[in-house]
Amino acid sequence: MATSSESKLQLVHRHVRAFPDFPKKGILFRDICPILKDPAALTAVTDLFEEHVRKNHPQVDLIVGLDARGFLFGPLLAQRLGVGFVLVRKMGKLPGSTVSVAYDLEYGKAEVEVQEDGVAPGQKVLLIDDLLATGGTLYAACELMKKQQADILGCMVVIELKELNGIDKLKPHQVFSLLQY
């Protein structure tokens, strides 16, 4: 099993491209588009997340995906696990009654929201996104889940940018990352 997981991680790693100075000078952008383009790489990501959840969180009720790339991996994982999927979106993008949380950006503020009936009190949730950088959006999504009185089991990302220390902002929540740069 370990060999299989290791070969899947290597496959995923080979499908992440680096673009220097994007979107601005000094940033090394990690591009996941090649993962999405390759069925084997996308299956490997889903397999690795599924293995982690089945081993560590067998009682999960919902996968909660962050706008927008969490929507790419979350529904695939939720379907595999036989659980529901809930969207956390940027403010103003969801119909009906919503609950929101504001958070700070590098320059300004933003807000994320979830449909009011999306998560019931006590439901066990795992949050998923493509990337953990500074942790601001994932932290806001955790605060949103707390507001809904959900039981947060942890967070999952494809890529963690370790030098930005986003994981510190998410404590005490566990963060599972497939790749770390």
Active site residues: 69, 106
| Residue labelled with tokens 């496959």 | 11
| Residue labelled with tokens 């000094």 | 26
CA 105 to chain centre: 18
Beta strand ranges found along the chain (DSSP E): 17-20, 28-31, 62-66, 84-90, 98-105, 108-115, 124-132, 151-160, 175-180
Q: Is 123 helix (H, G, I), strand (E, B) or coil?
A: coil
**152 strand-pairing partners:** 125
Enter the tokens of residue 102. 């504001």
